[in-house]
Structure 1
Amino acid sequence: MAKPTDTRTRILAVARELFVRQGVRETSLREIADSLGITKPALYYHFASREDLVRNIVEPLMEGMERFVAQREPPDGAESEPHDPRELLGDFFDLAWEQREVLLMVVRELPALAPLELAERMFTWRRRLIRLLLGPDPTVAARIGASVALGGMSDCVVEYADLPLEDVKGPAVEAAAAALGLPRP
């Protein structure tokens, strides 16, 4: 007999796959249960609702993004050491790539995921990431360039998710660096 955590992990994997392929609204809990060979009540044993299941799929992405920024920010009141922008962009790309299926689901299903308040959380960590890239007092033009850079890299992760990482990362990071006005290496 499988451990509850094994069943829970399998439910999350199958639900993520179906949500990415078919959409959150188009995938029923019955379909998820049937794909796993379990009953719908067994699914409810592990997840109280569809929203709970979706939240458990999306939350690792959000927590990972928030942790990524927090680990690079200086402690309260401390001066920030400048980050190498290309390294920071490359690390951000790697994180987004690792979570590309969930990111694709979020982009496609943002209206259905509104109760999770993802958009505000994403904009908050993105503003913090922009401060890491540009410092505390960037111009409006620099902030716009950074928004284009980070948004463009996220779009590349979603748009080219079926290509090999090595074909996407370099051009995406260099395009982001160009949007930031960084000189070519």
Structure 2
Amino acid sequence: MAAREGVDNRRTDTRERALAVALELFATHGYTVTSLREIAEHLGVTKAALYFHFRTKEEILTAILRGYLDGIAALAVDATARQPLTAAMREELVRRFAEHQAHWGIDLILLVRQNYTEIQSLPIGEEVREVMASLVAALAPAGSGPAERLRVRTALSAFQIAAVTAARDNDGDGDALQEAALAIALEILAG
């Protein structure tokens, strides 16, 4: 039984490492130009070993985005269940969103920004739109108009802007920028 558990752990580990390597390569080089062969080489396995876990780059991209979206969806479901949200509850939700963004890091943000067209053309693209819309709807007070929904979207975008600024402009400490993004997002949300 222990040997089988070891095999399962190695399989899970290889799958998770493949997702991490692919995320980095997709963010750095782009989804379109990154091949399964490159992912396998960076992972230190054969293409056949990678193929055991993922048949296509689309499956890899979908798995990466699914992991990210599951966290966002959980935030939205939690917020929706607690409606109407008080100002303190909205602040807590934005803080949890900030933690989720920090957990996924700059590579996820760069992946989405640099490969937006490709992502939107895949089946997961619609889910990305739906999940983000559900978070905006949960954060926007009931009966909100376009201005309030835009305020929420702008607040959530502050984290992406901070991460991209840190990566591209080498503009200070990434942690300090994320803290600044949180403060700005909360100010925007408060109106």
Q: TM-score range by the shorter chain?
A: 0.7 to 0.9
Q: Secondary structure at the match of 2:49?
A: helix
Q: Which runs of 5+ in 2 are unaligned?
A: 1-5
In 1, the alpha carbon distance for the partners of 2:113 and 2:124 equals: 10
Compared with structure 1, are the counterparts of its residues 37 and 144 closer, same or farther at alpha carbon in structure 2 (3 Å cutoff)?
closer
Shift of 1:9: 2.2
Point out the more displaced range, 122-131 or 167-176: 122-131
2:127 paired with 1:121: yes
Q: Deviations over 1:50-105 (max 9, x none)?
A: 11111112210011111111122127xxx534252332222211111211222321
In 2, the alpha carbon distance for the partners of 1:36 and 1:89 equals: 35
When normalised by structure 1's length, the TM-score is 0.81
Aligned counterpart, 1:92: 97
Aligned-residue sequence identity (percent) comes to 28
Compared with structure 1, are the counterparts of its residues 5 and 87 closer, same or farther at alpha carbon in structure 2 (3 Å cutoff)?
closer
Aligned counterpart, 1:106: 112
2:84 to 80, 83, 88: 80
Compared with structure 1, are the counterparts of its residues 119 and 5 closer, same or farther at alpha carbon in structure 2 (3 Å cutoff)?
closer
In 2, the alpha carbon distance for the partners of 1:138 and 1:83 equals: 15
Q: Which runs of 4+ in 1 moved over 6 A?
A: none
In 2, the alpha carbon distance for the partners of 1:81 and 1:10 equals: 38
| Equivalences for residues 12-161 of structure 1 within 5 A | 12-74=19-81, 80-84=84-88, 85-100=90-105, 101-160=107-166
Point out the more displaced range, 115-124 or 55-64: 115-124
Compared with structure 1, are the counterparts of its residues 37 and 141 closer, same or farther at alpha carbon in structure 2 (3 Å cutoff)?
closer
When normalised by structure 2's length, the TM-score is 0.78
In 2, the alpha carbon distance for the partners of 1:164 and 1:36 equals: 29
In 2, the alpha carbon distance for the partners of 1:80 and 1:145 equals: 18
Compared with structure 1, are the counterparts of its residues 73 and 4 closer, same or farther at alpha carbon in structure 2 (3 Å cutoff)?
same
Shift of 1:133: 2.7
Q: Which runs of 5+ in 1 are unaligned?
A: none
Compared with structure 1, are the counterparts of its residues 66 and 158 closer, same or farther at alpha carbon in structure 2 (3 Å cutoff)?
farther
- Check whether the contact 1:93–1:154 (CA below 8 A) recurs between aligned residues: no
- Check whether the contact 2:155–2:188 (CA below 8 A) recurs between aligned residues: yes
Aligned counterpart, 2:187: 178
In 1, the alpha carbon distance for the partners of 2:138 and 2:44 equals: 47
Q: Secondary structure at the match of 1:135?
A: coil
- Check whether the contact 2:73–2:134 (CA below 8 A) recurs between aligned residues: no
- Check whether the contact 1:160–1:168 (CA below 8 A) recurs between aligned residues: yes
Task: Please identify which structure carries the higher helix content.
Answer: 2
